[in-house]
Amino acid sequence: MLSVVRTHAFQSGRGPLSPGSRAGVGAALALLAIVSAVEVADGRKVHYAALMMAAPVLAAVFASWRTVLGVALVALLLGGGFALVEPGASMTTGVGLAGIALSGVVAAAVAAVRQRQAEEIAELSKLASVAQQAVLRPLGPQVGTLAVAARYISSTATAEIGGDLYEAIDTPYGVRMIIGDVRGKGLDAVRLASIVLGSYRHVAYERADLRAVVADLDRAVARNVGDEDFVTAAVVEERGGTLTIVNCGHPSPLLLRRGAVIPLEPPAPAPPLGFMPVVRPRVERLEPGDRLLLFTDGLGEARRDGEFFPTADRAWRLLGHGTVGDGLASLETALVEWVHGRLDDDIALVLMEYTGPRSGASVPVPSWEVGAAET
């Protein structure tokens, strides 16, 4: 959900020009050069100098107001130079020079307003990013017996802000992870995600049973959402080599084992948080080297030309090599290439690898989990 903002503010007029500013200034100077060449070729009578008033307007599209004023000054000097060599300067020439000066002032004012608005938007985006980073903490590289990595892929190039969430905690009951997706986007989604994660970080240490964790999270969501709002979530626990998953309307995690990819579907469907889900745990025994991919529905919805990204078919080739961080990097690269850089929804990814039992430690496994694993 939360990650670094990619928004870049427009240049303030100090320091090197941005590529956009250089393009605007280049177009303006090119126009001045063309008009000057035509004017010289036309003779000493001034006919086209008034067209130079368009140069500051072109520069104002991208450049700072200081740069725009500079372009306007160049245009005014060129126009004044043609007026000086014109025999018996006409009223039309004077009006043209006045038009250049006026267009420069207006264009500079427009550039100043645009620049201020761009800086305000960039600042708001940075604040949103800070809010996201305060909610989502970096994961890994090791949490208990698990190697863990997380990745957030934004569907927009301007700002990474949405309702996807994840967390991994080493608790007295084993390593517990959550991945979820808040309905909607923007700051309201970030607010609800922060509520879910804040509640989870508390109850994950307090509740021995994952079903009680879900019940507490459901109450926290219900107190803070409208009738049509909800949060899909999957809560995962690794305890003594036993993997337990409770799923509340969320995409099923994928277990990667010895070249196979196994969707860990829940024994029975359950609604999202906010709709009083009654969950049944899915329990598996882990082997050293097993990897588990948790993801939000943006991955399942990623498609090009109507064809969905083949996550299960390519998961082992992409995620089964190197570190868990390497695996997620490969998955992101393949995904972005598949959709040609156009995602319809944000995507949160968490990849864990079971490295084996802790040396010298004995972690008790609840009897209901052991029984479920044996059936």
For residue 93, the model assigns a pLDDT of 74
Q: What is the pLDDT of residues 53-88, one digit of tens each?
A: 888 888 888 888 888 888 889 888 888 887 777 766
Q: Which CATH class is domain 136-354?
A: alpha beta
Is the per-residue pLDDT at 368 higher than 50?
no
3-state SS, one letter per residue, for 70-122: HHHHHHHHHHHHHHHHCCCCCHHHHHHHHHHHHHHHHHHHHHHHHHHHHHHHH
For residue 155, the model assigns a pLDDT of 74
For residue 99, the model assigns a pLDDT of 86
Residues 6+ apart with CB under 8 A from 168: 139, 140, 143, 146, 148, 150, 175, 176, 177, 350, 352
CA distances from 358 to 157, 205, 286, 335, 361 (A): 42, 19, 13, 35, 5
Residue with tokens 């550039």, as numbered in its chain? 111
Mean pLDDT of 277-293: 95
For residue 366, the model assigns a pLDDT of 52
Instruction: List the single range of 81-85, 133-137, 220-224, 340-344 with lowest mean pLDDT.
Output: 133-137
Residues 6+ apart with CB under 8 A from 258: 289
How many helices (DSSP H) and strands (DSSP E) are in the chain?
10, 13
Do residues 362 and 353 make contact, with C-beta atoms less than 8 angstroms apart? no
Do residues 150 and 29 make contact, with C-beta atoms less than 8 angstroms apart? no
Is the per-residue pLDDT at 365 higher than 60?
no
Whole-number percent of the chain with pLDDT over 90:
43
**Alpha helix positions (H), the chain:** 19-42, 54-60, 65-85, 91-135, 186-206, 210-222, 297-301, 311-319, 324-338, 367-374
Closest by CA position to 363, among listed 242, 244, 211: 242
Instruction: List the single range of 7-11, 194-198, 203-207, 278-282 with lowest mean pLDDT.
Output: 7-11
| Residue 303, SS3 per DSSP | strand
For residue 367, the model assigns a pLDDT of 40
**What integer best gives the mean pLDDT of the chain?**
83
Is the per-residue pLDDT at 305 higher than 80?
yes
For residue 320, the model assigns a pLDDT of 92
Task: Compute CA 150 distance to the chain's CA centroid, rounded to the nearest angstrom.
Answer: 13
Angle made by CA atoms 362, 283, 278, in degrees to the nearest 5 = 120
Band (pLDDT 50/70/90 cuts) for residue 210 is: very high
Band (pLDDT 50/70/90 cuts) for residue 39 is: confident
For residue 315, the model assigns a pLDDT of 94
